[in-house]
């Protein structure tokens, strides 16, 4: 199956599932999780909820000290058909934005979650969930932590679409330190490009090269996300030690 054919199959399955009526981001990312099962070489797990929470010291831009949050909603791992090519991994946090995303309207998000995925500090396990402390910090590429914003899908004649961003390509709308848990995240690229008086405006490309790896920074649609991030093996290369339940490179 080609990359485009695999993405089309996932997209069709997601549209079928999400057309049944979704009440929020949990329903939507679970519909996507189920749809991803039709794509060869892709494994996805749900990490949403209290069973997969970690603690970390929030970064300076948030400034709330030690906080607890879930690692992410989904863990996505894609495997290349060539076994010599390292698998790619990303921890994706999903949000549902009911209104349109424009240059004047940034999406809502949890700043503690953003601090974790964008700042990638050492993490402290909670409960029975024991990921390695450097799971995020030791990653080769920033796109190990990402956000997916489900939005209205009228642009592609569907009920829902998705806008994707590497967490480090997003910044809080509030002045640093924000000193709050909730707010909106400004994107440093189109279509989430917005002006912030607190951060310099940098127009990031949709992809970037770090070392010998190319990673997707942004995707403006679900189809683009599937092609450039999930199916074509272009997120984060797995090149670190991993505990039980985590992919190894």
Confidence at 247, pLDDT banded by 50, 70, 90: very low
Report which of residues 27 and 3 the model is more confident about.
27
The C-alpha atoms of residue 176 and residue 172 are separated, in whole angstroms, by 8
150 part of a folded domain? yes
Total number of domains constituting the chain? 1
Q: What does the pLDDT read at residue 84?
A: 73
122 part of a folded domain? yes
The C-alpha atoms of residue 84 and residue 67 are separated, in whole angstroms, by 39
The C-alpha atoms of residue 214 and residue 56 are separated, in whole angstroms, by 28
- Chain Cα centroid distance, residue 62: 19
246 part of a folded domain? no
pLDDT, average across residues 58-86: 88
pLDDT, average across residues 161-180: 90
The C-alpha atoms of residue 2 and residue 81 are separated, in whole angstroms, by 11
Condensed to tens digits (0 to 9), the pLDDT of residues 100-131 reads: 676 667 789 999 999 999 999 999 988 888 89
The parent domain of residue 210 ranges over 3-237
DSSP lists the bridge partners of residue 54 as 69, 125
Percent of the chain predicted with pLDDT > 70: 83
Q: What does the pLDDT read at residue 33?
A: 94
Closest CA to 236 of 116, 137, 154: 137
Condensed to tens digits (0 to 9), the pLDDT of residues 199-212 reads: 444 445 578 888 88
The C-alpha atoms of residue 11 and residue 230 are separated, in whole angstroms, by 12
247 part of a folded domain? no
Report which of residues 185 and 57 the model is more confident about.
57
Count the Cβ atoms, other than its own, within 10 Å of residue 66: 9
Q: What does the pLDDT read at residue 240?
A: 37
Computed over every residue of the chain, the mean pLDDT equals 82
Residue holding tokens 């997707």?
216
The token duo for 129 is 């969930």
72 part of a folded domain? yes
Are the beta carbons of 179 and 189 closer than 8 angstroms? no
């Amino acid at each position: 199956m080609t990359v485009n054919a695999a993405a089309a199959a996932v997209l069709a399955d997601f549209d079928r599932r999400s057309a049944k009526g979704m009440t929020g981001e949990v329903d939507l990312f679970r519909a996507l999780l189920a749809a991803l099962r039709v794509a060869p070489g892709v494994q996805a797990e749900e990490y949403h909820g209290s069973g997969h929470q970690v603690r970390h010291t929030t970064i300076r831009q948030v400034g709330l000290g030690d906080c607890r949050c879930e690692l992410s909603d989904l863990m996505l791992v894609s495997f290349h058909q060539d076994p010599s090519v390292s698998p790619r991994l990303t921890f994706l946090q999903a949000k549902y934005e009911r209104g349109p995303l424009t240059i004047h309207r940034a999406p809502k998000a949890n700043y503690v979650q953003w601090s974790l995925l964008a700042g990638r500090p050492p993490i402290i396990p909670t409960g029975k969930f024991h990921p390695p402390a450097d799971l995020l910090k030791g990653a080769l590429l920033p796109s190990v932590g990402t956000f997916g914003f489900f939005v209205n899908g009228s642009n592609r004649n569907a009920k829902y679409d998705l806008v994707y961003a590497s967490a480090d390509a997003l910044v809080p709308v509030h002045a640093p330190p924000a000193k709050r848990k909730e707010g909106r995240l400004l994107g440093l690229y189109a279509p989430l490009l917005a002006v912030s008086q607190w951060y310099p405006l940098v127009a990031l490309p949709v992809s970037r090269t770090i070392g010998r790896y190319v990673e997707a920074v942004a995707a403006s649609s679900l189809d683009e996300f599937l092609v450039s991030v999930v199916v074509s093996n272009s997120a984060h290369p797995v090149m670190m030690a991993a505990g039980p339940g985590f992919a190894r490179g």
